[in-house]
A and B are shown apart, each in its own frame.
Chain A
Amino acid sequence: MNEILRAIYSSIIDGEQKVTTAKVQEALDQGTEPSAILNEGMVAAMAEVGKLFEEGEYFVPEMLVAARAMQSGLAMLKPYLVKADVKSSGKVVAGTVKGDLHDIGKNLVCMMLEGSAFEVIDLGSDVDPDKFVEAVHQTNADIVAMSALLTTTMPNMKVTIEALKAAGLRDKVKVLVGGAPLTQQYANEIGADGYAPDASRAVATAKSLIAA
């Protein structure tokens, strides 16, 4: 990795937003490939941040600080990525299921997915099954990511999966689920395609679902 990409990489890990934007500008001015800035500088940095979180070294607010730095760099890069026709990793429709107002975990998952070059359509919290269906239909999403933090709202994940089936969309989209009271076993029972216990592993699982 060259010096400027290395500087972008470490500024994101350290969450130094101003340094990130300055270095991205510098890289662009030097004529560095936008896709190299994205993949070697930014996506690689967010992967490292996710790994540190998974290991218990980084805490939730630190992930947000890093994601904020990444996003400000990404905003500068976007027009160049469009021009160079750089494709996203995949399209994800995300939300917390109906009846559930918890959003911190879902927000973190969305940020980490964006940090991994996924395009994320965030429907917010307390999302009706029909709204998930409509969004999948309209956006042609590759993945539906659902979050639930309460045992009383977890069943709405299954309801949403059923709604996708009824709309004839279940075969066109992968279903990824997560949230504190969930387990892999529960995910299997409701017929989801993937489960992840935290935001970093959510990215890895999303990637493997796209590759499958």
Chain B
Amino acid sequence: MFAAAISLDITPEMVLRGQGANPAIITNRKPVLLENAERAIQEGMALLSPKIIERTIEVIKISHDRIYLENNLLIENRFITRELSSAGRISFIICTIGSAIEEKVSALYRSDPVLSLAFDGFGTAAIEALAAFACETVRIRAKEEDLCISIPYSPGMIEWPLEKGQNQIFSILQPDPLVVRLTPSFQMIPKKSMSMIIGIGTGFNHNDRQTCDFCAARQTCRYRLNRD
């Protein structure tokens, strides 16, 4: 678990993007959606219970398709091995904002689906901000030792099957099931959770790559297009 106090700054623009909308366009066209986003932040912040579960593990040896880690741990995936071939350590991360937001989303759905979606967008914005906060903390820690970090890689990305990756991350981190657990179909509960790994070493330069580059939906995904 991270020692650093978690701080999340969530703006209405992030909440609109979390609903798959372009903030600049939508704010003018449907001001009510901006009001809903602001309301979701106002009421939603108190419902967040952000948790980051993290462990950094030394790399012992890297083959063409395996990363051997200390304590007999292993990552077996050709794509990840290639991407992290210069890592000296790997940070494993699971983060979640808890389940109160999704309970609110379900409770509102029948009576007010539009506001319900605003809370869902808030939840997506919050988990993305939390994941970014976790990455930034790993980056700052690495920098203190003159090391740099890779981009984050998540199971379910194009070349890292969900079932394989989630099993590896969950078996390494063994999170308290009351905080976050994995269903038999490898979906995390609470829903607003993310899992990822980050390489730490000397040879990473991520000016030339982004996590979205490795997504099958990169050409069409509106969540990506609204970010650019």
Contact = CB atoms under 8 A, between A and B. Distances in A.
A60 B20 contact: yes
Contacts of B25: 59
Contacts of A65: 30, 32-33, 114
Contacts of A102: 191
Contact of B216 (A56, A59, A60, A181): A181
Interface string B157-173: 00001110000000000
A180 B189 CA distance: 20
Given A56-B222, A107-B113, A150-B156, A61 B118 contact: yes
Contacts of B113: 64, 67-68, 107, 111
A178 to B, nearest CB: 14
Contacts of B121: 61
B154 to A, nearest CB: 13
Nearest to B188: A101
B137 interface: no
Contacts of A61: 16, 19-21, 26, 30, 33, 36, 114, 117-118, 121
Contact of A59 (B19, B162, B189): B19
A100 B185 contact: yes
A65 B184 CA distance: 35
Question: Chain A binding site: helix, strand, loop or mixed by DSSP?
Answer: loop
Nearest to B124: A104
Give the interface size bracket for A toward B.
20 to 34
B194 to A, nearest CB: 14
A61 B31 CA distance: 12
Contact of B20 (A59, A68, A98, A101): A59
Contact of B162 (A56, A104, A111, A152): A152
Interface of B: 16, 19-22, 25-26, 29-30, 32-33, 36, 109, 113-114, 117-118, 120-121, 156, 161-163, 183-187, 189, 191, 216-217, 222
Task: Report, nearest first, the 5 A-B pairs whose CB atoms are least far apart.
Answer: A99-B185, A59-B21, A60-B20, A152-B185, A61-B19
21 contacts: A56-B222, A59-B19, A59-B26, A59-B222, A61-B26, A61-B118, A62-B30, A64-B114, A64-B117, A65-B32, A65-B33, A67-B113, A98-B185, A100-B185, A100-B187, A102-B191, A104-B117, A150-B186, A151-B156, A152-B185, A153-B185
